[in-house]
Amino acid sequence: MAIVRNLRRSVLCSGRVRQLLSSFSDLLPESASWKTKLALSVVVFAVSLGVRVLHYQDMLPVLRAGQLQNWSLSQMIDLQARVIMAGGGYLFPNNFTDLGDGTLLWYPPGYPVIVSIIYRTLGAAYESVQKVQCVWDSLSAVLVSLIASSLFGNGIALLAGLLVALSPHLAYHANWIMPDSTPALPILAAVYCLIWAQRLSQRRFEASTGHCGKLVFSEYLLYAFAGALLGAALWIRSNSLLLNLLLGATIYITGRPRKLKPALVLIVVAWLVVLPITIRNYILYRAFVPVSLGMGWTLMAGLADYDKSFGFPSSDNDLCRLEEQEDGAPAGTYRVYAPDGIRRERARLRKAVTAIRERPHRFISIMWERAWFFFRYNDSDPADWPTNTAIVGAVSALPPDREAMEKRAVVIWSKSGSSLIESSTLQTPETKVFPISYQDGQAVKVVTDQSTAHYRLASEPIEIKPTGYYLLSFDVKLEKGGFGCGALSGDGSRWIVAGGNRNPTNDFVQMKQMFYSEGESKIQIVFFNDVPQPSQSIFEIRNLTLAEIKTSLLDYQYIWRKVVHLLQKAIFTTTLMRALIILGIILALLCRRWREALLVAAAPIYYVIFQSALHTEYRYILPVHYFAFIFAAISIYLMIKIPIRKIGDLKRRLETGSR
């Protein structure tokens, strides 16, 4: 240990390192004024709400059709909220008799209570919950900017708030009827209270020339309120159960001076707030369940997600079928937490712990892989369940009112019959195309081969505007198989839009595909054989047109959607965001702001340590990103500020030399 200390001392005392640290130490500004914070909050809230409203508009048709992901869980929450509205009790359900049914312990009771309040206030509809959650999550973006402003100044606060505001992942999940994005707000508010309390204590310490004395009531109140907020987060989602311990350790380490009482106040109050749930669980089930069930099952599934050799099931249905066989129960009688849910859950935990003891190194490697998944964003890398839950589409560049857009369409290209055949190319010579005459015009009949070639008929390259809206329209009659049609980028590397049909029709049916050009200046319209297995398709095409949808600078929704769409696709990629976050951590440490960096990193560290051991979908770890984006903002800020400072230094040297 002495050798390590001497080596560290010698490295830190070297001239180059001291020069580097001194050059970085004043790059990050201190806290901003309240007026500036208020202005930043207004800007961040407006942008955040605007982005979430766009995602709300995009997701509304899917929601109304009942096709939202995890729809069954949303329905369960809806049912619980309606039971509460009907007098079923906020904490204790009426007429509870089945001690073996642990379904009540699947989630904490807080989120159904929130949904029931929204239903009573705004109407019992999923759209009401979406609207409230959009505002709620926008307040989370404001808190991120306030935290960054208190620790690192205005520029980083604005950048961090805007990253949260623009994030497609956070905006998308804010529109789910699920509890996953909701706990972020109380967790962020708790961290902000801790920063505020530490600032008050530090000012008294500095004003009293190094002697702080006892904490005053206002500081105790802030620490207690932070603990209450962490407890409130547990009422909504239970995977932050031990976050108060890590935050307590963090405020002890970063405190000036270090005091144990604030950490104890934070920890104790958080658990006192959640104590009613623990008491409720014991009264109903005669068992100690702190908040909810799930540790055993998620630990088993977490191993199965990455390594099937453990022999554990990876889905709810597989788990129930396996336990039915083990217990000799009739098929189809088991659900995840019923019957005898607590006993079965504890048995799962024992099995998982035994497997981990037998193969600890594999368990650690799985935790490492899953921790990297936490910081995955949009990319094209192959992904299986549950890592594919990190992929979220950018907001659509197309407004939801498609009928109004069609009225603005102006045809810029059209082909039909012989002219389409003459100007098009065939990928496979076995595909046959020939014109067919009808009373109202000509059509093209396409008879494909059975090969696996990607497309059969491709138009000539068509010039379009890189930032334009377009409507592809044609009439089609499918006789056999299935057909697909879409717009391919000029270099053939990606689809701009694609669709198809596998239902034969007796007559021509009009099909329309609206799309945004995605920066492409040329496209090809292609038709292909869209069948699940190699087989022949026969279809006819006529009246093929491409129309440009005219917009103007006054069409604010078009412009706003276009800007958000482009920013989300450009910024929120795995490679870029990981690099910005890691670089931001390094730069914060180089700037000698380790206390501030630790306060920001505490929640992400907690989730990386504890959640990486369990089965995790991306929605489980959303609070990580609100804090991680502060480090990304530090990177962006310093990448702008350092060159500006260097240019200023060079300019001053030149001016001094000229004198």
Q: Which residues contact 458 (CB under 8 A, 6 or more apart)?
A: 424, 425, 426, 427, 488, 524, 525, 526, 527
Q: How much is the pLDDT for 104?
A: 87
Q: Do 335 and 103 touch, CB atoms closer than 8 A?
A: yes
Q: For residue 434, which amino acid is it?
A: F
For residue 275, being part of any structural domain is answered with: yes
For residue 365, being part of any structural domain is answered with: no
Q: How much is the pLDDT for 7?
A: 45
For residue 504, being part of any structural domain is answered with: yes
Whether residue 534 sits in one domain with residue 444 = yes
Task: Give per-residue pLDDT as tens, 315-357.
Answer: 999 999 999 999 999 998 999 999 999 999 999 999 999 999 9
Whether residue 191 sits in one domain with residue 220 = yes
Distance CA 529, CA 512 (A): 18
> Which residue among 518, 553, 588 closes a domain?
553
- Report CA Rg, the chain: 30
For residue 465, being part of any structural domain is answered with: yes
| Entry pTM | 0.85
Phi and psi torsions of 525, nearest 5°: -90, 125
Whether residue 154 sits in one domain with residue 24 = yes
- Residue (of 511, 517, 515) closest to 544 by Cα position: 511
Whether residue 128 sits in one domain with residue 32 = yes
Q: Which residues contact 465 (CB under 8 A, 6 or more apart)?
A: 517, 521, 548
- Residue (of 62, 112, 71) closest to 90 by Cα position: 112
Strands 538-549 and 469-480: antiparallel
Task: Give per-residue pLDDT as tens, 636-647.
Answer: 999 998 888 878
CATH code for the domain of 546: 2.60.120.260
Q: Do 550 and 408 touch, CB atoms closer than 8 A?
A: yes
Q: How much is the pLDDT for 72?
A: 84
Q: What is the mean pLDDT of residues 385-404?
A: 85
Q: How much is the pLDDT for 8?
A: 46
Task: Give per-residue pLDDT as tens, 488-520.
Answer: 888 878 888 888 888 888 889 999 999 888 889
378: helix, coil or strand?
strand
For the cut 50, the answer to whether the pLDDT of residue 623 exceeds it is: yes
Q: Which residues contact 239 (CB under 8 A, 6 or more apart)?
A: 607, 610, 611, 614, 620
Residue 76 CB neighbours (<10 A): 15
Residue 50 CB neighbours (<10 A): 17
Residue 543 CB neighbours (<10 A): 18
Whether residue 261 sits in one domain with residue 183 = yes
By the 10 Å C-beta count (0-12 exposed, 13-18 middle, 19+ buried), 635 is classed as buried
Q: How much is the pLDDT for 215?
A: 65
Q: How much is the pLDDT for 31?
A: 60
Q: Do 314 and 369 touch, CB atoms closer than 8 A?
A: no
SS3 of 72-132: the string is HHHHHHHHHHHHHHHHHCCCCCCCCCCCCCCHHHCCCCHHHHHHHHHHHHHCCCHHHHHHH
Residue 569 CB neighbours (<10 A): 17
22: left (phi over 0), alpha (psi -120 to 50) or beta: alpha
Whether residue 549 sits in one domain with residue 576 = no
Whether residue 583 sits in one domain with residue 523 = no
**Beta-bridge partner residues of 512:** 473
Domain housing 113: 2-288+572-644
For residue 36, being part of any structural domain is answered with: yes
Distance CA 132, CA 17 (A): 50
Residue 579 CB neighbours (<10 A): 13
Q: What is the mean pLDDT of residues 449-468?
A: 79
CA dihedral 166, 368, 299, 168 (to 10 degrees): 10
For the cut 70, the answer to whether the pLDDT of residue 152 exceeds it is: yes
The kind and range of the H/E element at 17 are helix 15-24
- Residue (of 543, 420, 544, 525) closest to 463 by Cα position: 525
For the cut 90, the answer to whether the pLDDT of residue 361 exceeds it is: yes
**Beta-bridge partner residues of 427:** none
410: left (phi over 0), alpha (psi -120 to 50) or beta: beta
- Residue (of 144, 120, 118) closest to 131 by Cα position: 118
Percent helix, strand and coil across the chain, each to the nearest 5: 60, 15, 30
For residue 349, being part of any structural domain is answered with: no
Whether residue 585 sits in one domain with residue 516 = no
- Residue (of 410, 529, 397) closest to 467 by Cα position: 397
Q: Do 267 and 244 touch, CB atoms closer than 8 A?
A: yes
Whether residue 583 sits in one domain with residue 447 = no
> Which residue among 553, 585, 615 closes a domain?
553
On average, the pLDDT of the chain sits at 87
102: left (phi over 0), alpha (psi -120 to 50) or beta: alpha
For the cut 70, the answer to whether the pLDDT of residue 278 exceeds it is: yes
Q: What is the mean pLDDT of residues 143-154?
A: 93
For tokens 């159960």, the residue is 241
Q: Do 161 and 145 touch, CB atoms closer than 8 A?
A: yes
Of residues 99 and 238, more confidently modeled:
238
**Beta-bridge partner residues of 541:** 444, 476
> Which residue among 553, 581, 600 closes a domain?
553
Highest mean pLDDT among 58-72, 112-126, 520-534, 636-650: 112-126
Q: How much is the pLDDT for 17?
A: 46
Of residues 2 and 408, more confidently modeled:
408
Distance CA 178, CA 256 (A): 40
- Residue (of 269, 288, 268) closest to 279 by Cα position: 288
Q: Do 496 and 520 touch, CB atoms closer than 8 A?
A: yes
Phi and psi torsions of 146, nearest 5°: -70, -40
Task: Give per-residue pLDDT as tens, 279-304.
Answer: 999 999 999 999 999 999 999 999 99
Q: What is the mean pLDDT of residues 37-59?
A: 94
Distance CA 315, CA 644 (A): 54
In the chain, the percentage of residues whose pLDDT exceeds 70 is 91
Q: How much is the pLDDT for 1?
A: 45
Whether residue 589 sits in one domain with residue 511 = no
CA dihedral 597, 598, 600, 603 (to 10 degrees): 150
Q: What is the mean pLDDT of residues 425-443?
A: 80
For the cut 60, the answer to whether the pLDDT of residue 307 exceeds it is: yes
Distance CA 198, CA 263 (A): 11
Q: How much is the pLDDT for 12?
A: 45
In the chain, the percentage of residues whose pLDDT exceeds 90 is 55
For residue 310, being part of any structural domain is answered with: no
Q: How much is the pLDDT for 24?
A: 53
pLDDT band at 207 (very low <50, low <70, confident <90, very high): low
Q: How many domains does the chain have?
A: 2
Q: Per the omega criterion (within 30 degrees of 0), is the bond before 399 cis?
A: no
- Residue (of 599, 592, 598, 584) closest to 630 by Cα position: 584
Distance CA 369, CA 525 (A): 41
Q: What is the mean pLDDT of residues 368-380?
A: 92
For the cut 60, the answer to whether the pLDDT of residue 50 exceeds it is: yes
* Residue 617 in tokens: 């979908």
For residue 541, being part of any structural domain is answered with: yes
SS3 of 202-232: the string is HHHHHHCCCCCCCCCHHHHHHHHHHHHHHHH
pLDDT band at 437 (very low <50, low <70, confident <90, very high): confident
DSSP class of 573: B
Residue 71 CB neighbours (<10 A): 14
Whether residue 496 sits in one domain with residue 582 = no
Whether residue 543 sits in one domain with residue 610 = no
